Every structure is written in structure tokens, then in C-alpha cells.
Structure 1
Amino acid sequence: MTVTLGNMRLSFTLVLALLLPLISAQVPHWGPCPEPSVQASFSIKKFMGRWFEIAKLPAQFEKGRCIETNFTMKLDQTIRVVSSEILKGEVRTIEGTGVTEDLKNPAKLGISYSYVLPYSPYWILSTDYDNFALIYSCTDVLRLFHVDFAWILSRTRTLPAATIEKSRATFSNNNIDVSRMIASRQQGCDKTL
């Protein structure tokens, strides 16, 4: 098979065209994804249940408020993932599937919200299971640059400021840029949901 420079340019252009919507919503970073440490001795069973989004790196697919995700273990050992948000006064829900991609490293999950899309990384960097969880996801683009997501989750709609600051420091200590992290809106949710 012969690959010409013209074909390589066309392939690169196609990849960029397909990824442009994703990139425009995020801030791309040069180089490959960082390899952060994940939760040691992670227990998927303890992680199951309802989590509220406290802070995040901006994400094109999350535009509403009162964002939460419920994780439920299924009989086949996959995870039912139901995320919801309030957008324009309506509750919007999406369901996906989570899997443990490496049984030796159960804190590295993969989640997909579509049968046609591959699983996206969903790594639990740290959690105490009862109060907070720090989640990271990153996608390399030809190892030239990467697009990443980070979330601070809680079992309640609020977290103490000290916990949020400690969480941000954990991301930073793992070479994850959270300078653009924003607080999620979790006010007035129970009146609507």
C-alpha cells in the first residue's frame, strides 16, 4: 500500500474536521494525555449510586444546571450510567454504559452513551465513596495534542470550599490544568426534579 503526502493531508484534514466540534468546546493542550494516578484499591461497588457535579472543566455536552449521574451495577457486571441536567426548564436525561476496562486497574472505567461510539476514559483519581470523587477523562489526537475533562463530584449538592481546593490541587499535582474549572449550578434543583 502506498501512502502519498496528499492522502496523509486528506486523512489529517478529515480527523480534524470530525474532531473540530469537540475541540471548539474544550481547550486543547499540546502533547499526549497526562497519566495521572488513580484511586488505589478502588471498589466499584462502593462507588455506585448518585453523584452530583460540583465543578468541572467546561464541556460542550453539559449546558444545563443540576447535573447529576447515577451509577448502577448490572447483572453482567457492566454499569448503567444515567446522567441528567435541567436545561431551559426541562429535565434532560441520557443513559450510557460503563465498563471496567482493565480488571487489574478498576479505577479506570470506560463510558459510552452510544452503541456506535467507543468507550471514553472515565478515571477515578480519588474518592472517599461517601463525600467526594475526582474524575478525569482525556483523549489524545494523534499524540500531538489532547482534549480533557475533569469533574469534582459529591454525594450532596455542595462541598466545603476546603474540599474543593484540595480536589483542585490533586488535579494540578497530576499535571492536569484546572485553571478553567468552573462551579456547577446546583441551586433550586429539588423544586424541579
Structure 2
Amino acid sequence: MRHLSLLLGLCLSLLLGGCATGSHDPLAPKTAGAVDLKRYQGKWFELARLPMYFQRDCAQSEAHYNARPDGSIGVLNRCRMLDGQWIRAEGSATPQEAGHTDKLWVEFDNWFTRLAPGVAKGEYWVLYVDSRYQTALVGSPDRKYLWILSRTPSLPAWERESLLARARQQGYDTNRLIWRVADRDIAAAH
């Protein structure tokens, strides 16, 4: 039952992040501008995130994005718990406005979204992506959620500090970040 609630939580975590905040708020964080979704697709490791109830048991998380022919993005989120078990949630992302690829709606495929299609979707704002598409900051416009993403499971200290500085400049509380647990620490936990 605990795993089921965590899986449901993974699905809802992005969905609830920005529902109350309008995307045209002048005080909202600045986004990356045009994001090349073909270059953005692939595997991203979550290096850090702001705390959220639904990811409380995730020691490691990763996201897999793939471009679909209809212009949407397929989303597969995976969460590895301290016992080593992986759980997953699948969904899709679409631009909030046609032609603007830095602000996306994310909707996961679960019983709730099948019951009320289009109602439970969350704002996924790409705040920053480096020119090589190797690191990214993603957040919600209300600043409750933030993810530091990388194509690799770790970064040099200088690069991590650069991403933290960008997040702080956008008004995110980086002191509350939860960092990815190392593989060796997961193995030691069980």
C-alpha cells in the first residue's frame, strides 16, 4: 500500500505544483526561453529537489523524455527507494502555449486523470538548460517545486554551485533541497 501511495504521489507531485499560479504572473520566475525538445529528450537524473510529500521515500529519481509524433513529450519518471526497489509513473507533457517550449503541462496516466481528463495537470517550467543540454533547472511558477537535473548522476562542485546560484536568483529556497542518495548508500541501507 505504501508503494501504491508513493506511485500515486509521483504522479500528482508535478500536477499540483502550479495549478493555482497563473503562467502570466509578472512575479513568476523567468524561464529558459525556447527549449529544443528533441535535444531535451532522453534520460535525466534528479540531483536535487525541494521537499514534497509524494517523493519522501525516493532516494534516487530519474526522468525519461521522448518526443512523440503529435508534438507532445512522453514522460517516464522512476523513483528508487532505499530498499533498492524502483517504482514508475508515465505521462505526457505538452506546451502550455503553441510554439513555446519552456512552459509545459504535465499529466500522468493514472486512475484520477482517466476519471477527470485535463483537470489534473501540473506546470513544468524549464528555468534553465545549458547550451549542451547536459544540465537543467525545472520548477513550478509558485516556487514550491524545484528539480536540478543532469545527464549524469553527479556534477563537479563548481557546476552544482552555478545551478544553485541560478535557482536562488529565481527565488527558490535552495537550503531545503534534498540531494540524490549515492548508489553505495542505497546498497548499504538493505
Give the TM-score normalised by structure 2: 0.72
Q: Which amino acid aligns with 2:29?
A: P
* Residue 157 to residue 102, structure 1, CA distance change in 2 (3 Å): same
Contact 2:28 2:141 in 1 (8 A): no
- Aligned mate of 1:119, from 117, 121, 126: 121
Measure how far apart 1:160 and its partner are: 1.2
Task: Report Cα offsets for 1:155-188 as digits up to 9, x if no partner.
Answer: 0111111111111111111122222112111424
Q: Which amino acid aligns with 1:148?
A: K
Measure how far apart 1:154 and its partner are: 0.4
Task: Report Cα offsets for 1:31-79 as digits up to 9, x if no partner.
Answer: x894111113321111011000011111222122221000011121111
Sequence identity of aligned pairs in percent? 26
What's the secondary structure of 2:97's corresponding residue? coil
Q: Which amino acid aligns with 1:79?
A: I
More helix by share: 2
* Residue 158 to residue 74, structure 1, CA distance change in 2 (3 Å): same
Larger radius of gyration: 1
Contact 1:33 1:138 in 2 (8 A): no
Separation in 1, partners of 2:26, 2:105: 16
* 2:143 maps to 1:150: no
Contact 1:34 1:174 in 2 (8 A): no
* Residue 36 to residue 184, structure 1, CA distance change in 2 (3 Å): same
Question: Which runs of 5 or more residues in structure 1 are unaligned?
Answer: 1-21, 27-31, 140-146
Equivalent residue runs for 1:23-172 within 5 Å: 34-62=27-55, 63-87=57-81, 88-114=83-109, 115=113, 116=116, 117-128=119-130, 129-139=132-142, 148-172=144-168
Question: Which runs of 5 or more residues in structure 2 are unaligned?
Answer: 1-12, 18-24
Give the corresponding residue for 2:9: none
What's the secondary structure of 1:156's corresponding residue? coil
* Residue 109 to residue 163, structure 1, CA distance change in 2 (3 Å): same
What's the secondary structure of 1:179's corresponding residue? helix
Separation in 2, partners of 1:98, 1:130: 18
Separation in 1, partners of 2:101, 2:84: 37
Aligned residues: 155
What's the secondary structure of 2:44's corresponding residue? strand
Separation in 1, partners of 2:41, 2:99: 19
Contact 2:125 2:141 in 1 (8 A): no
Contact 1:34 1:176 in 2 (8 A): no
